[in-house]
Amino acid sequence: MPNIFHLIDQAGWESAEPTPEHRAESLVTEGFIHCSQDINQMLKVANRLYSGRTDLLALEVDSERLTSPVKREASRSGEIYPHIYGPLNTDAVIKVWSVPLDADGTFSGVSE
Encode pLDDT of 51-71 as tens digits.
Answer: 999 999 999 999 999 999 999
All domains of the chain in start order, with CATH: 4-98 (3.20.170.20)
pLDDT at 1 over 80: no
For 24-53, the pLDDT digits (tens) are 999 999 999 999 999 999 999 999 999 999
The closest alpha carbon to 35, from 77, 86, 104, belongs to 86
pLDDT at 2 over 90: no
